[in-house]
A and B are shown apart, each in its own frame.
Chain A
Amino acid sequence: MTRTRLLARLCLQAFPARQRAEYGADLLAVLEERLETEATRGRLALFRYQLRAATDAAGVAWRNRLWRAPATGRTDLPSDPPIWTLDMLLQDLRFGIRTLWHHPWFSLAIIATLALGIGANTMIYSAVNTVVLNPFDMPDPDRVVSVGTEYPRLGQPLQFFEVLSGPEYADIVRTTQTMSETAGFDLGNRQVMGTDMPQNVFTGFWWVDPLPVLDLQPVVGRSFNAEEIREREPVAMISHRVWLNRFAGEMDIVGSTIRIDDEPYTLIGVFPTAANIYGTDLWMPMWFQPDELPRGQRRQFNLIGRLADGQTLEDLNSELESVARRAELDYGSELPEYGGWKLRALTFTDAQVRTMRPAGLILLGAVAFILLLVCANVASLLLSRSASRQREMGVRLALGAGRIRVLRQLMAESIVMATAGATLGTGAAWFGLQWLQANTPSNLLPTTRAMGINTDVLVYTGAATVMAALLSGLAPAIHTTRVDLQRCLGSGAAGGSRGRRRLHSAFVALEVAMALVLLTGASLFVTSLWRLQRVDVGFDPDNTLTMRLTLPWSKYEGDAIADFFNELAERTEAIPGVVSASSVSQRPPNGFITQQFSLPGTVVDTDSQMPVALLTIATNDYFDTLGVPIKRGRGFTALDRAGDAPAAVINEVFAQRHFANAGTEIIGQRIKLGRMEDENLPWIEVVGVVSDIRNNGLQNGVSPEIFVSLDQVGGTFNQLFLVVRTERSPLAVLPAVREAVAAMDPDQPIYAIATMSDVMLSGFAIEAFAMILLAAFGVTALVLAATGIFGVVAYGVSQRSRELGVRMALGAGSTQVRGLVVRQALLPIAMGAGVGLVMSIALGMAIPGFLSEVAAFEPLPLAGVALTLSVVALLASYLPARRASQVDPVEALRSD
């Protein structure tokens, strides 16, 4: 009955040695008799009893050996309560601090490592919390909603920015009951004049006072009343920052007059920073009523609302669904885009940050991995030290300390170190956040909140600290308290234990896996950005400066606008260092102004069936300035003046799509920018075809585009970009360009200043930013993994110096010893790499479509990462191995 004996021995393990000796024979007898009885009831009953006996023993073992004083066998001592009381905690902490003080360098190394992990987590959490989790500093941000639209017919996904027409807005406000407050607005630019430098200010135009929606109060003065909005009175509110920066925070500005676009307005109040509506700095009443506008055009308005008490987002969305169905029913025949139209509300926060959220969460995940790596490193350091502390532990246990008591003491040390690390790390994070705040592209931040260390962040830091203490301390502590008293007190030797070696290997595997995942993530971002930067945009974006000017209608009209921009181009070209200058209504790579048009011989029933192309107004030298080759015909010249035959230049995509049959006869084809029947519209003749440039975002293909000459459409558009090609650094000519503008009109501000290279990548600011941080994490992970592996292998070698010495004394060469050490390190490294690879691929598949230009599985970067990591890991284990092979056998054998 060997199985019974085995079971009995297992059960006996539940008891301390003395009781084991006392009850051993009896327990075996009990078990034997009992099993005989059970055996008569059948095999199942027998098996069930064996199982029960085993679990029973496990329960007793837990109560008996972990809870109470086990190693001494003195169960008659009062046992400690399992949880800390405050007194005990304080005592343990004091003792912990003293212990750490005795090993300053060791403690410092651990604290610094923990500070790195916890600090990085604090910093990233603070940043992510500020930017994407909790960006708006208003009461109950979850009650404030934004309404967006989706046009399945047009293949247009859910959008929230400038999406509603006036009547659509009115429909929603009229028919929904679930919002207690709503406000509609439009966005635009206005010029505030009269101070030293004219300023272009991003402005919100309101149909309703928005502050009740946000549940906020004006800082100074009051907000709009219904009559002011209905009567379109010249009143305005300014943002808190404009108030501080331009009006020095003077309380008496209420009632004063400011000049906006050359008209006098009365300032009625200052809205708070928390009222952050797309970063607007100036609020004014809207200049027409919603119903005065056409239903199917000018979808440029936004709607925010506040959920009524007791209503949820789902309630609102089901109401919006019926509004959309109603519109489809009533206007579907006239406006085919209403087919399947969707109106959808999200919280205001979600609507604004949903595109950034994945990047934020990826960063949070990545930095959590760093913490895990740090914990693995610290744990393996502590484990290495457990050998030298076994004697100390043995003495304590022998003197009657319970195992839990000693465990608690060790955990107290971990808590002390983690807390010290957290303090240090949080301090570092504060500096890191200052840097981050200063270096984050401002268009990335929908928030005016500063990244800092607040309660939210500290709670997170606290949680990270506790996690770090537990993760890094528990396994080594359990291992350290597993002491064989006899052996430990009997001799001074602390042999390498198999358990410790296994734990060490597990840490190495874990570190390699984590590092691999992090590096793979970073490599995907780097690959994505690298490919985006190499997308052929169709022109040379280097050494090109762009900026925008909006000429107020009150001062410039008709040909005056074209004259202004032509003169500005001339003046700019006169600046030393400028190669060429011109103006354009929309700059690549993001065209947004489109136009429906007609071609001769094509008949359509409704407007919505007319083809659409980007319509761009440009001055004569535009193609030269950008360096866009002209494929056929010519660009605009001085011949294309106001009164002459209207001319158009098209891009290649347009030519292929609409004039594919014309062959070489493209030049001379005609386009009408509107309905065919409209007699007032002239036919425009194609005079040239230019090569394609990206005009629909870098990730997307090129859209058809029509260029017309500013001289010929001069009076219709007052907002243009100045494009300046320079010999060298484009920003260097900026002051001279400012002077040129001021010389023509001192009240005229310039804004949206950026080099073309920056504009190209501006859509990827998030990726670029995340990439930098992730790359930093990847490098950190690599360093952590390398030091971790190095530490473990070096420790293993130092423990085995005697054995290695014997081997060498018996004739093993240094190569063989080196090989032995490296080979043994290789297994956990390989296992870690395997796990890491699987995790990387799984993660890559879990976040599809987030990165442009990369697939979920990119063999090349993955192979690169795996190779780098392997080389580093091998190197980290080779260095201690080499030291091992230089051991003097005589020395090694003599030592203890």
Chain B
Amino acid sequence: MQDLPLTPRVMLILWALDAGPKHGYRLLSEVEELGRGRVSIGPASLYESIQSLRRKGWIEPTGAPADAASPDRRRRYFQLTAAGGEILRAEASRLSELVDDLRARGLVDQASAR
């Protein structure tokens, strides 16, 4: 796939949305959590990324889930599309192959690989 590898930012956004639809702020917090504090996205960049992922057809707007708190209902939620799920999985297996390779060459020690 020519879209691979994904940038860390895109990868994390897709990953965060894989768990279910989210609105902007939740997405932002989730990405930062998944990135273990090493990836941060400014507000403007966030929506820039959202716009570009929508254009690629990997994510799409969706209604608020039924269990959402009432002030959040007005917000715009996004979810992963089928294509988005595919690309996320493709990237994940690419990364895992990469890690396997690295491990085979003894570049990853057991402790840090967990």
Contacts and interface: CB of A to CB of B under 8 A. Distances in A.
Contacts of A29: 23-25, 75
A738 to B, nearest CB: 88
B89 interface: no
Contacts of B42: 52-53, 55-57, 59-60
A209 B48 CA distance: 76
B73 interface: no
A33 B25 contact: yes
Given A25-B75, A26-B23, A27-B47, 17 more contacts: A11-B43, A11-B44, A15-B44, A15-B47, A22-B76, A23-B50, A25-B74, A30-B28, A30-B43, A33-B25, A34-B43, A53-B42, A53-B43, A53-B44, A60-B45, A61-B44, A64-B48
19 contacts: A8-B43, A12-B44, A15-B51, A19-B51, A23-B50, A26-B47, A26-B76, A27-B24, A27-B44, A30-B24, A30-B43, A34-B25, A34-B28, A53-B43, A57-B44, A59-B45, A60-B44, A60-B45, A63-B48
A390 B13 CA distance: 41
Contacts of A53: 42-44
Contacts of A15: 44, 47-48, 51
A523 to B, nearest CB: 54
A56 B24 contact: no
A12 B48 CA distance: 10
B55 interface: yes
Contacts of B44: 11-12, 14-15, 27, 53, 56-57, 59-61
Interface residues on B, range: 10 to 19
B90 interface: no
Contacts of A250: none
Interface in A587-624: none
Interface in A33-49: 33-34
A75 interface: yes
B64 interface: no
Measured as residues with beta carbon below 8 angstroms from the partner, the interface class of chain A is 20 to 34
A60 B52 CA distance: 12
Contact of B47 (A23, A52, A55, A59): A23
A31 interface: yes
Contacts of A57: 42-44
A309 interface: no
B46 interface: yes
Interface in B9-30: 23-25, 28
The B interface, classified by DSSP as helix, strand, loop or mixed, is helix
Nearest to B74: A25
B48 A26 contact: no
Nearest to B42: A56
A355 B75 CA distance: 76
Contacts of B55: 75-76
A22 B54 CA distance: 13
Nearest to B45: A56
Contacts of B50: 23
Interface in A53-78: 53, 55-57, 59-61, 63-64, 75-76
A557 to B, nearest CB: 98
Interface in A742-797: none
Contacts of A25: 74-75
A76 B57 CA distance: 12
A26 B75 contact: yes
Contacts of B75: 25-26, 29
B45 to A, nearest CB: 5
A27 B25 CA distance: 9
A61 to B, nearest CB: 8
Contacts of B76: 22-23, 26
B51 A56 contact: no
Nearest to A7: B43
